[in-house]
Amino acid sequence: MSELLAKIAMCVERGKINKASPYPPDLKGQDGADELTKQAVAEKIDPAKILNEALVVGMARIGVKFRENKVFVPDVLMAAKAMNTAMVHIKPFFLSGAVKRKGTFVVGTVQGDLHDIGKNLVAMIIEGGGYEVVDLGTDVSAQKFLDAVDKNPNCAVGLSALLTTTMANMGNTVKTIKEKHPTVKVLVGGAPLTQEFATKIGADCYSPDPQGALDFLNAKAA
């Protein structure tokens, strides 16, 4: 990895958005993900390299740290902000087809559940992993998930639930998706869930943390 790409990865991992950002304190006054990514584009570094060898690397590091309880939700939010700021400079290359996403991930909190913190964290880590994320929000019906799968062939689907009372809706959503699209991979997560429950409802993956979901998708894409 070049020195510039390594610096971008570090800025994403640490949540250093731009030069004006006071966070983190030990990087105050230094260029952040914004300026460094702009520089990388100006130096004609391959945008795919900027994505895969800098932004994805930085988000992967913060994802692993979060799984290991070495950092917390605010740290992941800052990393995602830094990544999104950097993405502005390479998004035109996605639109032109010069850079390809690894795949599409449809995610939402199941019907009857309005909690979104866990779902948002998963979306951030997976987008940071190089995937296009279609976020359906909260209180999402099985039909809305199915419509999103119809519009995004070959996508994977992530279902989130925080309430035990909405776990039944998760099972119904998996069944609805699988009946029409049996090959679509469905990932589930949320505080009350277990591997046993995920297996029972026919989900393809259960992970207690966002990085585990990304690891599953990467293994599937390999």
Indicate the domain borders of the chain.
3-96, 104-221
CA 86 to chain centre: 15
CATH class of 3-96: mainly alpha
Instruction: Pinpoint the alpha helices (H) of 114-166.
Output: 117-128, 142-151
Same CATH topology for 3-96 and 104-221?
no
Q: What angle do CA 142, 179, 162 make, to 5 degrees?
A: 35
Model confidence over 56-71: pLDDT tens digits? 999 999 999 999 999 9
The answer as to CATH 3.40.50.1980 being correct for domain 104-221 is no
Residue 89, SS3 per DSSP: helix
> Could you tell me whether strands 132-135 and 156-160 are parallel, antiparallel, or unpaired per DSSP bridges?
unpaired
pLDDT at 184: 97
Model confidence over 191-211: pLDDT tens digits? 999 999 999 999 999 999 999
Residue in this structure with the two tokens 């995602």, named with its chain if needed: 80
Band the pLDDT of 98: cuts 50, 70, 90. confident
pTM of the model: 0.89
